[in-house]
Amino acid sequence: MTIDWCEKCEEMMQPFLDGSLSSDEVQEAERHLEQCSWCAKRYRFEERLRHYVRVATAEAMSPDLKAKLAALRTPL
């Protein structure tokens, strides 16, 4: 059976970004990313997306916005 390295890389992408892969898996992923421009672009996109989410969620919400959102909330 032939391994589809792009599919395997896709499955490993989030754990790779989380730092939860074994050292062997990290080496596999890095090797593939060095050889496959499409997967390397995908990796850079995911990495940037995570960065932007971290930055966006680190900013405190203004009390005015919190009050407006609370007013829009409906009970379950």
Report CA torsion sign: 22, 28, 31, 37.
Answer: negative
Determine contact, residues 17/51, Cβ cutoff 8 Å: no
| Closest to 28 measured CA to CA, from 7, 1, 9, 2 | 9
What is residue 1's predicted lDDT score, i.e. its pLDDT?
62
Determine contact, residues 15/21, Cβ cutoff 8 Å: yes
- What's the total number of domains in the chain? 1
What is residue 75's predicted lDDT score, i.e. its pLDDT?
75
What is residue 57's predicted lDDT score, i.e. its pLDDT?
85
Which residue range is the domain that position 43 belongs to? 5-72
Task: Report the C-alpha gap between 24 and 16 in whole angstroms.
Answer: 11
What is residue 45's predicted lDDT score, i.e. its pLDDT?
97
For 16-64, write each residue's pLDDT tens digit.
999 999 999 999 999 999 999 999 999 999 999 999 999 988 888 889 9
